[in-house]
Amino acid sequence: MSRALRGPAAVVTGIGLLTPLGRGVDRVLGALLAGRSGLVRPPADHPVAGWLTEAGIAPPVAGTEVLPATETRCVDRFVLMALAAADDALAEAKLMVGQNADPHRVAVVLGTGGGGLETYEAQALRREQRGRPAVSPYLLPGMLSNMAAARIAIKYGIRGYSSAPVTACAAGAQAVAEALRLIRADEADVVVCGGTDSSLHPTVAAAFTNSRALASGWGDPGEASRPFDRRRNGFVLGEGAGVLVVERAEHAAARGAAGYAELLGWGASTDAHHPTMPRPDGAGAADAVRAALRSAGLAAADIDYVNAHGTGTRLGDRAEAAALRAVFGADGPAVSSTKGATGHLLGAAGAVEAAISVLALAGGVLPPTANLDEPDPECELDHVRTAARRGPVRAVLSNSFAFGGHNLSLVFGPPPTPVAKHPVGEPS
């Protein structure tokens, strides 16, 4: 499929990451390539201490770091993390709204799974204990799911389209897909997109624990997240934010901006099967992958790497492996799940993993799946394990699947901009 048929090219010119592996492109990529884990036992002063034995805790973000002091009242952590990641992404892209980008032609799409659950719960407890006067008047602008997108738009004077997908663990990836739709429809020149989630508080931890979805029985927190491994027994709950600046290639070239990769296509599908469990045969996931390839104008053989959703659950990993084999055959591309090192970042996962996929493409190095000591025979794939794998990468696929049966796949290829970015990662 020609680019003319696909529409205008969309290039990733900036990335901001706040994850359990640290903050920033070099730190996160360096940790992944060195095989370091970001999973820890929550310290005694953390809200989930005693509720979780392992968690993926992102670096702290003070309200005054990302907002004026007068605007920090009752702002949920999911918003603060999104602002920090957006600050980094826009700075790296050297994008200045109102100077080298028309505010009305810049959009912001920031997804989340749960929004400000921690803030809501804290204020509900205040109401129960002390009555109506104790509830903050800033509750709603502090915790509504659209507030990450709204705060970014307010801070940077973004006047174009704004949206907040809430498709659970596919939300971040859906936001990135929305960026491509907006650029191809000529509704934006630049889209600030991604995902953010902060769910490390007791009620969410209790719910996931009681549903038996979380990994358990591991003495070392760094060993608990084991995508595709025979001994996996659940995922590790994490938090974070990932923001990408996706820009019309001509717009980026005109201002001399370098690109990491081109966002070539996306595909979506719905399992229509169960509120929490995927179709065992992976048919819904395979539909999304095939749709992404069609959107990108690529054949299955053109994909050299897949960043899998791979959470470390029995059913989910097997369904995704089945989907990948159905699309790519027995000799498919290299596959890894970076959740082995980060845990599951819920609504932020799709954006963070899309960014990691972009970095793998741009740097020509594939991150390994942590803790994949003994691959499950039912998850047979070309797993990248024990160490990073280097070599030319033509195109990459990033998968995100969610409760409710939402499936989203993204495809990236080399950037069409004259200048390309080549991340190397912070030395270990």
User: Considering 193, 201, 251, 309, which one is annotated as catalytic?
Assistant: 309
The verdict on whether 201 is a catalytic residue reads no
The verdict on whether 74 is a catalytic residue reads no
User: Considering 169, 379, 383, 406, which one is annotated as catalytic?
Assistant: 169
In one-letter notation, the amino acid at residue 117 is L
The verdict on whether 274 is a catalytic residue reads no
Structure tokens given for 281 = 């045969």
User: Considering 201, 251, 344, 406, which one is annotated as catalytic?
Assistant: 344
Q: What is the 3-state secondary structure (H, E, C) of the chain?
A: CCHHHHCCCEEEEEEEEEECCEECHHHHHHHHHHCCCCEECCCCCCCCECCECCEECCCCCCHHHHCCHHHCCCCCHHHHHHHHHHHHHHHHHCCCECCCECHHHEEEEEECCCCCHHHHHHHHHHHHHHCHHHCCCCHHHHHCCCHHHHHHHHHHCCCCCEECCCCHHHHHHHHHHHHHHHHHCCCCCEEEEEEEECCCCHHHHHHHHHCCCECCCCCCHHHCCCCCECCCCCECEECEEEEEEEEEHHHHHHCCCCECEEEEEEEEEECCCCCCCCCCCCHHHHHHHHHHHHHHCCCHHHCCEEECCCCCCHHHHHHHHHHHHHHHCCCCCEEECCHHHHCECHHHHHHHHHHHHHHHHHHCEECCECCCCCECHHHCCEECECCCEECCCCCEEEEEEECCCEEEEEEEECCCCCCECCCCCCCC
Q: Which residues are catalytic?
A: 169, 309, 344
